[in-house]
Amino acid sequence: MTRPAIPLAGVIGNPVGHSLSPGLHGHWLRRYGIRGHYVPLQVGEDDLAQVIRALPRMGFVGANVTIPHKRAVLDIADQASDRAILMGAANTLTFLEDGRILADNTDAHGFLANLRQEAPDWDPSRGPACVLGAGGAARAVIAALLEAGVPEVILTNRTRPKAEALRADLGTRVRVLDWVQAGNAVDEAETVVNTTSLGMEGQPELRVPLDGLRPGKLVTDIVYAPLRTRLLRVAEDEGCTTVDGLGMLLHQAVPGFERWFGKRPEVDREARDAVLK
């Protein structure tokens, strides 16, 4: 299969209408004058394998994958990166000219790249990190924090067995606390990350005790709607460094765009504005 003259890419999900990816990739394509297209693809579970295998023949060079297909695509791809295997999920597919489909997971990269860009003085080795929540996003966040060199991750989740399972997968530098002890985890940590859906529009607020937030701590939230969650507002009032969750979403898109369209895109104010429109 030769590279198509007008490369196509898209995001596969169900539903997919809410995805910010078409706005972001569309912005980058226009900004760099690249002749290509990026489209939302709403695909149900039963059609997933057939649609993915048909995409390269239609001129697609790759695709992002979102809920609920991030696990299932690992079985459809010919090869998965170590990171995708560790995550048990992929969010980026690349269709090679020899017909092979590669699956990768860029969520951990996105999380870390966002912190490095928005909080350049952040020193992960300064002390433990506290991770609130143990869902799919937490897995990427914990892997990223350990890779960045935090001495320990204190993990707390409403459903404790899910936290224990993550620790079993991700290693001994993860310590599990009960959800009722979340305030202690926040107090002990130098880096605090919310990976739960609490605080998102339409969801209840995150109500863990936050008196342990002190100046110098780094606090970030993977929720990006609203941008300034209650956690970030309280942290800012307490003098912490705060980073919102939109940057993670933008940065996780960078490796795919670069592979498919041959240009490493900037995550800057313009890119943020493009998805917030």
> By rule CB under 6 A, what string of x and - marks binding of each residue 21-60 to ligand ATR?
----------------------------------------
Q: Which residue is nearest to ligand ATR (CB)?
A: 135
- The least CB distance from residue 132 to ligand ATR, in Å, is 8
* Interior/surface letters 198-235, b for 16+ CB within 10 angstroms, e for the rest: bbbeeeeebebebebbeeebbbbbbbbeeeebbbbebb
Task: Specify the residue, 127 or 135, whose C-beta has the smaller distance to ligand ATR.
Answer: 135
Task: Specify the residue, 29 or 231, whose C-beta has the smaller distance to ligand ATR.
Answer: 231
- The least CB distance from residue 207 to ligand ATR, in Å, is 9
Task: Specify the residue, 178 or 258, whose C-beta has the smaller distance to ligand ATR.
Answer: 178
Helical ranges in the chain per DSSP H: 21-31, 48-54, 73-76, 82-87, 107-118, 136-148, 160-170, 182-188, 230-237, 246-252, 254-261, 269-276
Binding of ligand ATR by 66 (CB under 6 A): no
Q: Which stretch binds ligand ATR (CB under 6 A): 195-203, 211-219, 250-258, 268-276?
A: 195-203
Instruction: Please indicate whether residue 217 is annotated as part of the active site.
Output: no
In three-state secondary structure terms, 100 is: coil
> By rule CB under 6 A, what string of x and - marks binding of each residue 196-235 to ligand ATR?
xxx-----x-------------------------------
Q: Binders of ligand ATR among 133-192, rule CB under 6 A?
A: 133-138, 157-159, 162
Cα–Cα distance between 211 and 234 in angstroms, integer?
A: 9
Q: Please, which residues have CB within 8 angstroms of residue 180's CB and are 6 or more apart in sequence?
A: none
> By rule CB under 6 A, what string of x and - marks binding of each residue 120-139 to ligand ATR?
-------------xxxxxx-
Long-range (24+ apart) CB contacts under 8 A made by 219-222 are 219/191, 219/192, 219/193, 219/243, 220/114, 220/115, 220/191, 220/192, 220/193, 220/194, 220/244, 220/245, 221/193, 221/194, 221/245, 222/111, 222/137, 222/141, 222/193, 222/194, 222/195, 222/248
Residue numbering of the annotated binding site for shikimate: 19-21, 66, 91, 107, 224, 252
Catalytic annotation, residues: 70
Residue numbering of the annotated binding site for NADP(+): 82, 133-137, 157-162, 222, 245
Where does this chain bind ligand ATR (CB under 6 A)? Answer: 133-138, 157-159, 162, 195-198, 204
